[in-house]
A and B are shown apart, each in its own frame.
Chain A
Amino acid sequence: MTAIIEAHGLTKRFGATTALDGVSFSVEPGRIVGLIGPNGAGKTTAIKSILGLTPFSGELKVLGLDPRSQRDELMREVCFMADVAVLPRWLRVRQALDFCTGVHPRFVRARAEEFLRKTDIRMDSRVRELSKGMVTQLHLALILAIDARLLVLDEPTLGLDLLYRRAFYDTLLNDYFDKDRTILLTTHQVEEVENLFTDVIFISRGHITLSSAVEALGGRYLQLTVAAEQAGPARALKPFYEREVFGRIAMFFEGRSAAQLAPLGDLRTPSIADLFVATMQGTMKS
């Protein structure tokens, strides 16, 4: 099957600043991809390009379509949710359902109603009367009811408490995701969702610093923890990043074999969050 998203030399400039500098990546179907980067790295710009919300240069195909010229067609099969604040405050729950039913050929109203029945949200409530968590539930209900091939989530749980965040991702994984669907997700709370991802793309200053399937990370990156006084031999193998943790030193290696590192200390596959920090710090040291 062909890629869901295919970007080649994707570039976006705002005046003198370059938000995306010739970025290339691809997203395969049936994956959950984390697009991870610090603020201002170009995450949102990349997402806006994918959704045809902003002009760009370079080559970009989403579901085989060009988001610049075929946006209307594209949005039938792509679903998008930015952070919780985008549902208009005057909208009533019933109106939201009416509207989606009236404009979206792939919206299955019964599915949204079924999900809403499990919440405290009432049909005649306005968005402004709902708590932040409930607004997210409402938006999630709308998304679950849309039979889309690609779901793009941009900081969907920003400002929510832990319980709502957890419930959000559980619902997404259990009730929505399947092999025909692809999810592209940006978030600041990497630690919380890293078990969700099948793929990660790290982005920094408009460049992609890492793009890999999660299961391939272990073979490529290793985290070695050694006592401070025994750091010398490990350091000789050129870790690209190291940091001190409770008097011991955690070193991050790329492309070293486990057999080579294992005798020197405690070896493990780094978590995505650690790896993210390591690659960001590594590239930012310059």
Chain B
Amino acid sequence: MNTTATAPAPAAGVQPPLTLRSTLTTLVRREFWEHPGLWRAPLIIAALLVGTIVIGAIPAGHHVDIHMDNWDGVMSEERRAQAFAVSQVAPLAPLYLIMALVLSFYLLDSLYAERRDRSILFWKSLPVSDGLTVLSKFLVALVVVPVGVLVLGTVCHLLLFLAWQVGVATAGFPPVLTWHTGLWFRVEGLMIGSLVLGMLWYAPMAAALLLVSAWVRKNPVAWATLAPIVAIAVEWKFGTHYLARLLYYRTFGIWAVLGTGHGERLEHGVRLDAVLGDISFGRAFANIDLWLGVLVAVALLYATVRIRRYRDDTAG
């Protein structure tokens, strides 16, 4: 027998040895081949955002005429800093929204589609463990795409800022944005922290969707939506709301802990510093429910791997 240890392979077709990392990279690439929506959808949203401002910034003969010669008097430096910070965060809202939607469908489809089209028999004919396969899908949804979207959001903001400045010069946009490097880093750090927090907080949700995807015989989307709705309705009949509360909590709970409840107070003259200072990652990351959720996610992933290992509805 030729083993790589004893006999060197012939020169033709020699490949670099496979490592866990290279295998995982291949598995992640595979996910983007199958689900191009994972990168296309955020990119389209980003293009629309930037495109709108860029088109507005192209001089069109008529200036937006706001009859205000002295913006410095109208907007304090503090206000401009606020506007800058908001403009930095704002592109992420539509991006994260579309991402949550795309990722939910992706997770529900990822372990179901391969059973539906029987391609699981092909994937399983290759030396890739069920654990690594499930992990690759989980990482795509929880790490790869969210990090990509954060980068995209950051690039988006820079382009928007640039387009806005061009617009100020050429199309009469109000000069409400000024660059604050210190603030930019502070807000960027805040977004990275929130991203990590979000990954941990939504881990059980993502793992649960994967479990549904690996488990149900048909219609994972219906199972994931109708089953909770029916359960909530039944509970309602008996006068309790545990499930509804749980789902609401697991969707939004951590952001209340993080302390962004002061967003609307920006309007009423609260200083930006106060709002930013109010955000406490220490408090959020020390939250026991966050880590309990991570434990639940590990258990759900383990169950998903077990199910994929022996799930057999391709019997002919």
Contact = CB atoms under 8 A, between A and B. Distances in A.
Interface residues of B, number: 34
Contacts of A98: 26, 29
Contact of B310 (A55, A72, A110, A111): A55
B280 interface: no
B17 A86 contact: no
B114 A88 contact: yes
Interface stretch (A89-97, A191-199, A205-213, A253-261): A89-97
Nearest to A87: B122
Contacts of A86: 118-122
A44 B315 contact: yes
A184 to B, nearest CB: 13
A88 B119 contact: yes
A147 B4 CA distance: 12
Contacts of B121: 53, 80, 82, 86
Contacts of B30: 95, 99
A95 B33 CA distance: 8
Contacts of B34: 88, 90-91
B125 to A, nearest CB: 4
A229 B125 CA distance: 55
A109 interface: yes
Dominant secondary structure of chain A at its interface with chain B: mixed
A76 interface: yes
B25, B114, B125, most chain A CB atoms within 10 A? B125
Nearest to A105: B18
Contacts of A73: 127
Interface in B259-307: none
A98 B126 CA distance: 13
B23 interface: yes
A230 interface: no
B315 A92 contact: no
Nearest to B128: A103
A87 to B, nearest CB: 6
B70 interface: no
Contact of A180 (B1, B117, B120): B1
Nearest to A74: B127
A75 interface: yes
Nearest to B17: A105
B230 to A, nearest CB: 28
B251 interface: no
Nearest to A112: B13
Interface residues of A, number: 42
Contact of B13 (A80, A82, A108): A108
B27 interface: yes
A104 interface: yes
Given A103-B23, A105-B18, A72 B316 contact: no
B130 to A, nearest CB: 9
Interface in A130-147: 139, 147
Contacts of B18: 102-105
A111 B312 CA distance: 32
A116 B13 CA distance: 15
A90 B15 contact: no
Interface in B188-230: none
Contacts of A83: 316
A43 to B, nearest CB: 10
B76 interface: no
A80 B125 contact: yes
Contacts of B126: 75, 99-100, 103-104
B33 A110 contact: no
A105 B127 contact: yes
Interface centre among B2, B25, B34, B124 (most CB of A within 10 A): B124
B22 interface: yes
9 contacts: A51-B124, A54-B310, A83-B316, A86-B119, A87-B122, A100-B126, A103-B23, A103-B126, A107-B15
Interface of B: 1-2, 4, 12-13, 15, 17-18, 22-23, 25-27, 29-30, 33-34, 114, 117-122, 124-129, 310, 312, 315-316
